[in-house]
A and B are shown apart, each in its own frame.
Chain A
């Protein structure tokens, strides 16, 4: 994890939890009197009576020390020498777990720490290191602060899928995507501004027309012919303003709508390109649905914000200020009557928005309960019928349906009351203008100001009606910003994730691998703490067929992940033809590695496209030849559309065995120097297995092959078998050699399988 995300994790802890983001300085100072080197630490946040406390379990180079933060400072409450640790026990509960550290069997624990689920990851990491110490094994050097911060922040990161950055910073960053389209932005904004300014013109002209033309003409102060000429010119002017305004609206919509699309396109491309660079570990942490949403819905929501949200909000602010200015210019007394309530109306809309949010949360919850019934009972309709529960399910659905209706009714009751109320408030403002303006208009009173010209008053009324829309938009600004920043965050979170597996600046080029593979004292931990591969070494000559066997969870698939460099080793080296795999150009290297998985993955497209996935320009002869090697040609030709058959999403229109043979054909066509077969025949029937096995026998010829199989009989032809258990290489040799060892792991596994087979 990069330094940037390390900072983020500490930031997340500070922002969301009540605990320190790192070991407090006071504890560090206290530790310095005992030991210097800090290996790991964790917080035990519950005391023996299950009340909150802060006890820090600090594992240093030589000791495990427990400190308690107290009102008057830090107190050391236990210290156990690393060399004395004999046993570590972690007992789990619902929200309270206990770690006990013993220095002798049956004796009282020297350390007993209770902690909540929030601390569990860091405590498990610490527990692992203590277990290593109990076994006399050294622990890997690591950054203790990082371990702690990663462990505590990880659940929040996973749920939130975001970095914790300020909302405004996100908006600025989002707006920076407009830079390449400066000209478009400027013209669009100019057009939008023109629309705003032009909207102010007709009411103004109308007022002037009444006061300076119509009324003088009616009073005989202006010749009718001259008045008519001026009036028609004014009408023409107003019409022109409307036409220009609509033209500007057209420019604005055209430029900014496409601008939003352009930025959304850029974001989608950048996001997708970045997703391709990210390491496999990233995908194991994130849900596929969440990533797809980021590329599709989130970028779409950002389009809406950039195309309309930014402009609408900006222009609404400009419009409100301009309207207030014009009204106060026309008549400051009446202007204030209209302008002063506006912030209050904006606030009212904002508050209403918050109430609606809460109502929607309730409705969303009730809606989820309703859809839960659907997602339960529609796929499980047979069970419902067999147990004759349709009446109960109908009742359950009916109750939840009524619940949802009640919430939606509440929502409708809220907004249908609010908006007429808001309109009424605006109209009352207008009435206020009438109440204060009418005496001045009629000249019956000067209490509220000097006499008022009719035209001014008409302008005033026209401007007042223009307040409604911007007030509404400003009131919804918080919601618009919230939606946009949430989406932007989700997108930026992916863009800011650094790939964990990175190619060197000047990689070693191995255009034609020989296929020699060596693991040299390799250790690996997915979480940086608990090692799943432990100092494992072996060497494979080019062309060997290596069977990887052993109990589930022993580390076989992890070995493959390290070999293909989906992950980097924590210690040691993986050498390909004598070169560290981390020094290679990973793209070029993977081009020479083929993988056939237990669950073959086919893309939506034709069989032809799937077989040619690694080399799209391959000719038909080679495709057919590969399919023949894979025992796939015959079944493909039986399909009505042959090689052009579209296999559907993930190849669902084919059977498991057919998919597997297509994936073998794909691997054959790639002609890899190193081939990995991961449980390739475990999920098919015997006849299909025979066909796949035949195909694989042809496929492995002349390559270095690593085959994982639980059915040990399928590995009899292997040059060597490596037995992996608990991350270690516990046995190696040929099938016959391993069977000859009466106490061997392989012999035991093989015997168990034989017994199962005989019993069947």
Chain B
């Protein structure tokens, strides 16, 4: 396991040589994702650059001071252990609720109230009446509630008939 090395800000901007060095990822005892490259190791946060257009590519690793440490354009270039760690970190950082079933959609004083079944269990959430769902490139729907939680209907056509009926006015 790499130990923490304080890296001056200027060194966080990778030179061409450094950028070509292999990147490894690990989850340390402190529970955080650490990235190592060219002898430097530091805790990073992971973000998908294109969470809906290209979710599996272009993954940006940022240090605590928000400087980008590395950009993974293709995870297949990582070693197997790093890829596993990457998937684990992504599951958390990119977590959104997946809606499997819609129980009810009601209007209540300027709010549209959803009662849904997610992969995590039942959930009630609300959106403003004019906060329309967003379509994802592959035809899914993203609904952001008033608190900012994101709910995803991956394939509206795959929902049961009653659910499709309930969200009918939100579908194309």
* Residues of A participating in the B interface, judged by any CB pair closer than 8 Å: 16-18, 46, 50-52, 89, 91-96, 98, 100, 102, 106-109, 112, 114, 116-118, 120, 155-156, 158-162, 164, 357-359, 361-362, 364-365, 368-369, 403, 485-486, 489-490
A158 to B32, CA, bound (A): 34
A96 to B88, CA, bound (A): 13
A120 to B149, CA, bound (A): 10
Interface residue from B4, B30, B45, B93 paired with A100 (Cβ < 8 Å): B30
Name the A residues within 8 Å of B93 (CB-CB).
Answer: 91, 93-94, 96
Docked-complex contact B29 and A106, CB < 8 angstroms = yes
Q: Does B159 contact A (CB under 8 A)?
A: no
Nearest residue (CB) in B for A157 is: B146
Q: Which of B6-14, B74-82, B126-134 contacts A (4 or more CB under 8 A)?
A: B126-134
Docked-complex contact A91 and B32, CB < 8 angstroms = yes
Complex A-B, nearest 10 residue pairs according to Cβ-Cβ distance, in ascending order: A96-B95, A159-B146, A117-B148, A93-B93, A118-B147, A361-B169, A117-B149, A155-B147, A362-B169, A155-B146
Q: Does B72 contact A (CB under 8 A)?
A: no
Docked-complex contact B130 and A368, CB < 8 angstroms = yes
Given that A46-B120, A117-B148, A156-B126 are known contacts, is A95 also in contact with B109, CB under 8 Å in the complex?
Answer: no
> Can you add 9 more A-B contacts, CB < 8 Å, to A160-B146, A357-B107?
A17-B124, A18-B122, A94-B96, A96-B93, A100-B31, A156-B126, A159-B111, A159-B127, A489-B109
Docked-complex contact A18 and B124, CB < 8 angstroms = yes
B104-119 vs A, Cβ < 8 Å mask (1 yes, 0 no):
0001011101000000
| Minimum C-beta distance from A381 to chain B (A) | 25
Interface residue from A106, A161, A368, A369 paired with B110 (Cβ < 8 Å): A161
A109 to B32, CA, bound (A): 10
Name the A residues within 8 Å of B128 (CB-CB).
Answer: 159
Docked-complex contact A108 and B30, CB < 8 angstroms = yes
Given that A18-B123, A114-B92, A156-B146 are known contacts, is A162 also in contact with B110, CB under 8 Å in the complex?
Answer: yes
- Count chain A CB atoms within 10 A of each CB in B30, B132, B148 and give the residue with the most: B30
Interface residue from B94, B110, B120, B126 paired with A51 (Cβ < 8 Å): B120
Nearest residue (CB) in B for A407 is: B169
Name the A residues within 8 Å of B125 (CB-CB).
Answer: 118
Docked-complex contact A107 and B111, CB < 8 angstroms = no
A403 to B171, CA, bound (A): 12
* Residues of B participating in the A interface, judged by any CB pair closer than 8 Å: 4, 28-32, 45, 51, 91-97, 107, 109-111, 113, 120-128, 130-132, 145-150, 168-170, 172
- Count chain B CB atoms within 10 A of each CB in A91, A93, A94, A368 and give the residue with the most: A94
A364 to B130, CA, bound (A): 9
Name the A residues within 8 Å of B132 (CB-CB).
Answer: 365, 368-369
Name the A residues within 8 Å of B91 (CB-CB).
Answer: 50
| Minimum C-beta distance from B62 to chain A (A) | 11
Docked-complex contact B4 and A106, CB < 8 angstroms = yes
Docked-complex contact B169 and A91, CB < 8 angstroms = no
Q: Can you name 14 A-B pairs with beta carbons within 8 Å?
A: A16-B113, A18-B124, A51-B121, A89-B32, A95-B150, A96-B92, A100-B31, A117-B145, A118-B149, A155-B147, A159-B131, A368-B130, A403-B172, A486-B109
Docked-complex contact B97 and A160, CB < 8 angstroms = no
Name the A residues within 8 Å of B126 (CB-CB).
Answer: 16, 156, 159-160
| Minimum C-beta distance from B85 to chain A (A) | 15
A108 to B32, CA, bound (A): 9
Nearest residue (CB) in B for A17 is: B124
Nearest residue (CB) in B for A156 is: B146
Name the B residues within 8 Å of A52 (CB-CB).
Answer: 120-121, 123
Docked-complex contact B29 and A120, CB < 8 angstroms = no
Given that A106-B30, A118-B149 are known contacts, is A50 also in contact with B109, CB under 8 Å in the complex?
Answer: no
Nearest residue (CB) in A for B90 is: A93
Nearest residue (CB) in B for A361 is: B169
Docked-complex contact A158 and B95, CB < 8 angstroms = no
Docked-complex contact B120 and A98, CB < 8 angstroms = no
Docked-complex contact B124 and A16, CB < 8 angstroms = yes
Nearest residue (CB) in B for A163 is: B109
Nearest residue (CB) in B for A482 is: B107
Docked-complex contact B113 and A112, CB < 8 angstroms = no
Given that A18-B123, A94-B93, A95-B149 are known contacts, is A156 also in contact with B111, CB under 8 Å in the complex?
Answer: yes
Nearest residue (CB) in A for B46 is: A93
Nearest residue (CB) in A for B131 is: A159
Docked-complex contact B110 and A160, CB < 8 angstroms = yes
A31 to B84, CA, bound (A): 39
Docked-complex contact B169 and A158, CB < 8 angstroms = no
| Minimum C-beta distance from B128 to chain A (A) | 5
Name the B residues within 8 Å of A106 (CB-CB).
Answer: 4, 28-30
A368 to B146, CA, bound (A): 19
A91 to B113, CA, bound (A): 29
Nearest residue (CB) in A for B121 is: A52
Docked-complex contact B31 and A155, CB < 8 angstroms = no
Given that A50-B120, A117-B149, A358-B168 are known contacts, is A95 also in contact with B30, CB under 8 Å in the complex?
Answer: no
Nearest residue (CB) in B for A100 is: B31
Nearest residue (CB) in A for B170 is: A365
Name the A residues within 8 Å of B170 (CB-CB).
Answer: 361, 365
Docked-complex contact A50 and B121, CB < 8 angstroms = no
| Minimum C-beta distance from B109 to chain A (A) | 5
A107 to B122, CA, bound (A): 36
